[in-house]
Amino acid sequence: MDWMIYGANGYTGELIAREAKTRGKAPILAGRNASKIAGLAGELHLPSKAFALQSPPEIAAALQNVGVLLNCAGPFSKTADPLIRACLATKTHYLDITGEIEVLEAAHRLDAEAKSAGVVLCPGAGFDVVPTDCIALMLKKQLPEATDLALGFEIADRHMSPGTAKTTVEGLGKSGKIRRAGRIVELPIGQGSRHIDFGRGRKLAIPIPWGDVASAYYTTGIPNITVYTPVSSASLNVARLINGLGFILRSPWVQNWLVGMIEKNVKGPAAATREASRTWVWGEARDASGQSREMRIVTLNGYSFTVQSSLAIVEYLMSNDPPPGCWTPALLMGENFILSLPGTSALDLPRPME
């Protein structure tokens, strides 16, 4: 069975392609930029295809005889829908590494179509959202009647890839998002702060519109979900200021200018930076009676983690026949999937909070 990496010439896609080659795998490298795809494929001695995403017949033709597609081309708001629909038509399993709430929600709305087509859809197969999704399911099993779920992470290095930076720009000036009573609702950026120990001591943290606001609900059924990351007091003040500048930051001129600056200047973290960086991931569940559980893990930096998790899920789909439908990573692979990946260890497993 053939498999394909779309967006293989991007920062994370190239990391995944190089690791796949190291493991003796032979993915088809694909993307929109024919010269870059051909150059990388030539260097790695791998097959390649170049195709854009404007023509559904062209996408479907490119996916013929492809068993699994791993989409690494962000922002996924622009690439996920045409690729997912082509996968449904060609009966190709679909994975991506998105953390975009709207993309995750849209994929889950196609659950019935995926089942009818005999296809697995599993968006969020990278750092967004595998670690937090697995923690969410662990906590759900420890506290089955949980009504509130809080998740979060602290990263040692904040260097971004171009794709991640572009996705961040898309979100500038927009409200944050949390889930309440089963529905996704807006929360202005900077509101709802609290202090959390992610694994390195208590720090000020704010809610962020992370993918688990969508995916953790499908994993656990818990109706109230918030995702946090630590910030400095100065950053919190900037976040609150941005709320008032949303109409400017969302303007096409500003968006296009920022994207242009990213394309010129953002390269993504170097190998030495990735290897030196760690990520601390935390979760907390509470039920109506006041019982609670929390846990923490430490893992690789987000990009290295994404390489490991996405390839593990590709390999699973290539050698197994799971039921079709739209899956979250934890439901597809099990809650202990996170602990099976290199560089990950539990700081503390679910336990009652003090």
- The torsion angles phi and psi of 245, rounded to 5 degrees, stand at -110, 15
Neighbours of 174 (CB within 10 A): 15
Residue 231's pLDDT band (cuts 50, 70, 90): confident
Nearest to 11 by CA among 76, 74, 95, 88: 74
122 and 253 share one domain:
no
Q: What is the DSSP string of 281-331?
A: EEEEEEETTS-EEEEEEEEE-HHHHHHHHHHHHHHHHHH--PPPEE--HHH
174 and 224 share one domain:
yes
Q: Could you tell me what percent of the chain has a pLDDT over 90?
A: 71
Taking a C-beta distance cutoff of 8 angstroms, is the pair 110, 90 a contact?
no
Q: Give the pLDDT of residue 354.
A: 44
Average pLDDT value for residue range 99-111 = 97
113 and 216 share one domain:
no
Q: 262: domain range?
A: 130-301+339-352
211 and 319 share one domain:
no
Q: What is the DSSP string of 42-100?
A: HHHT--EEE--SS-HHHHHHHTTTEEEEEE--S-HHHHHHHHHHHHHHHT-EEEE----
143 and 185 share one domain:
yes
194 and 343 share one domain:
yes
The domain tally of the chain equals 2
Task: Quote the mean pLDDT of the chain.
Answer: 88
176 and 122 share one domain:
no
100 and 158 share one domain:
no
279 and 198 share one domain:
yes
Distance (Å, rounded) from C-alpha 283 to C-alpha 141? 13
98 and 209 share one domain:
no
CATH code assigned at 61: 3.40.50.720
**How many Å from the N-terminal Cα to the C-terminal Cα in the chain?**
51
Neighbours of 64 (CB within 10 A): 9
24 and 83 share one domain:
yes
81 and 157 share one domain:
no
Q: Please determine, for residue 96, whether its predicted confidence score (pLDDT) is greater than 70.
A: yes
CATH code assigned at 195: 3.30.360.10
Q: Give the pLDDT of residue 190.
A: 79
Distances (CA, A) of 153 to 127, 147, 284: 10, 21, 12
What size, in residues, is the chain?
A: 354
Q: Could you tell me what percent of the chain has a pLDDT over 70?
A: 81
pLDDT tens digits, one per residue of 296-345: 999 999 899 999 999 999 999 999 999 999 999 999 999 999 999 999 98
pLDDT tens digits, one per residue of 274-301: 676 889 999 999 999 999 999 999 999 9
Q: Please determine, for residue 262, whether its predicted confidence score (pLDDT) is greater than 70.
A: no
pLDDT tens digits, one per residue of 201-224: 999 998 888 999 999 999 999 999
Distance (Å, rounded) from C-alpha 246 to C-alpha 248? 5
